[in-house]
Amino acid sequence: MGQKAPRRRGARRAALLAATMTASLAVGCTAHHGGTTDDGRGRTQSPTQSPTGSPSTVAPAAGPVLAVKIDNVPAARPQTGLDSADIVYAEQVEGGLSRLMAVFATKLPKSVGPVRSARVSDLELLRQFDDPTLAFSGAQGKLLPLIDKAPLRSASPDEVASAYYRGVDKSAPHNLYLRPNKLLSSAPGAAALTTGFHYDAAPAGGKATASRTVRYPAARFTFTWSGSQHRWLVTEDGTPAVTTAGKRLAPATVVVQYVKIQKSAYHDVLGNNTPYTVTVGSGKADVLRDGRTYSVDWKRPTATDGTAFTASDGTPVNFAKGQVWVVFAKA
């Protein structure tokens, strides 16, 4: 793999992108831009709201966010660098398993991974950011043209070989890691997080919550409130989730967002359909912060909008200072 710069994708019309994503394509394999397989199975705007505290007016972003697709099967754990992400999205993939997308803006860790392949749902989710960089190991062969058309900077190993390396602690394909400083010279800052999230004092009300579990057909997440750490401790498939350094994954806010999860036009090599997670529209969500659960509404009118989480009277529901996990659950 030769060293290349990340490909910068020009903006395309939303209608063209949406139409292509829903085209009827039968896919039987996954691939890098250069053809190396990655089958994805892995079995065994008012004042900007700062993600670090109260509402504040911040300077324009220094650059795009970095989004990294993270392997999340048991063989890929523990992961590296996940605790440095501003936002972690959890989505359902083939076979009822889960995969993560970590978004970095305020801090870049030395290493992130294991890195795995992209999914069609990622392209709609990433439209909320301005020219994001997407780091991923590969994609289904017929999805690659769609990635090429998307308004993002594609940074697969075939495009930026020097940004990736193989670790020795896990077996392939669960050992591909990214060096973020090879893609971004510095963290772009909080202004790059154009998610629509609000961070401030907790809203009134809510229901006291000790723990919350979200289940996929073949995966589950449990978030347990720690009063001493003032964080939600993450457990995945019954095992405490930690980093390779032994640090417990512990977001300040967890959002369980109820969305439509429907069949896409893509399949893995085993014939399992790739679920399509619909993140544009509206629906219900639960916001977990400070040991309480708040039942809210979510709304994202178009793909280029962030997502608003509001109370029944339409007022924004504030998130707590720190990392946010958004777990997409079937409505």
State the Cα–Cα distance between residues 232 and 224, nearest whole angstrom.
5
CB under 8 Å to 19, separation ≥6 — which residues? none
**Residues pairing with 29 in the sheet:** none
CB distance 325 to 235 below 8 Å: no
State the Cα–Cα distance between residues 255 and 257, nearest whole angstrom.
6
CA atoms within 13 A on the CB side of 38: 30
Report residues of the chain scoring pLDDT below 50.
Answer: 1-3, 9-50, 52-61
**Cα separations in angstroms, 183 against 122, 124, 152, 201, 258:** 19, 22, 13, 35, 33
Cis before 55 (ω within 30):
no
pLDDT at 64: 92
pLDDT at 102: 98
CA atoms within 13 A on the CB side of 143: 26
CB distance 284 to 295 below 8 Å: yes
**Residues pairing with 284 in the sheet:** 297
Residues 141-178 pLDDT 10s: 788 888 989 999 999 999 999 999 999 989 999 999 99
- Residue 190, phi then psi, degrees to nearest 5: -60, -30
pLDDT at 139: 84
pTM (2 decimals)? 0.84
CA-closest candidate to residue 111, choices 102, 119, 120: 102
What string of H, E and C letters represents the secondary structure of the chain?
Answer: CCECCCEECCCCCHHHHHHHHCCCCCCCCEECCCCCCCCCCCCCCCCCECCCCCECCCCCCCCCCEEEEECCCHHHCCEECHHHCCEEEEEECHHHCEEEEEEECCCCCCCEECECCCCHHHHHHHCCCCCCEEECCCEECCCHHHHHHCCCEEECCCCEHHHEEECCCCCCCCCEEECHHHCCCCCCCHHHCCCCCCECCCCCCCEECCEEEEEECCEEEEEEEECCCCEEEEEECCEECEECCCCECCCCEEEEEEEEEEEEEEECCCCCEEEEEECCEEEEEEEEECCEEEEEEEEECCCCCCCEEECCCCCECCECCCCEEEEEEEC
CB distance 100 to 76 below 8 Å: no
